[in-house]
Amino acid sequence: MNISQVALRSGLPPKTIRYYEDIGLIAPDRGANGYRQFADEDVHKLTFLNRARALGFTIEDCRKLLALWEDQTRASSDVRALAREHLARIEMKIADLNDMRRTLADLVDACAGDDRPDCPILKRLDAPLDIRD
């Protein structure tokens, strides 16, 4: 298969497929003409990577997940541990986003939104950082 066919089957753009090859996540064969020749296993790996990335796994996590997928003697606990770490990072991001939402909502509520120049939003953005030890 050529890269266009693999892109259609995996749901990834050719540029991403080339990038994954550059960083060693996949290694398609090369024909005598130098063109990539993808096998069904490459499509499977790329689809796997597409799904993992859609869940927010980092490239390094994807590398580990692929290695675990290829290792038939793996312990599912290793996969679960990796997923749990990622879930914890997602939960921290959600908490941070909720804090940002609350802060911004408070600022929007505090702003009169009229013709006066006084604006609590700009005051907050201009305030010195609160650095605590």
Summarised one tens digit per residue, pLDDT across range 29-72 is 999 998 999 999 999 999 999 999 999 999 999 999 999 999 99
Q: Among residues 56, 74, 92, which one ends one of the domains?
A: 74
Q: Which SS3 state, helix, strand or coil, does residue 127 take?
A: coil
Domain range for 126 is: 76-133
Q: Which SS3 state, helix, strand or coil, does residue 25 take?
A: coil
Same domain, residue pair 127 and 86: yes
Same domain, residue pair 64 and 96: no
Q: What pLDDT is stored for residue 133 in this prediction?
A: 53
Rounded distance between C-alpha atoms, residue 67 and residue 63, angstroms:
6
Number of domains observed in the structure of the chain: 2
Q: Among residues 25, 42, 74, which one ends one of the domains?
A: 74
Same domain, residue pair 61 and 92: no
Q: What pLDDT is stored for residue 66 in this prediction?
A: 96
Summarised one tens digit per residue, pLDDT across range 68-92 is 999 999 999 999 999 999 999 999 9
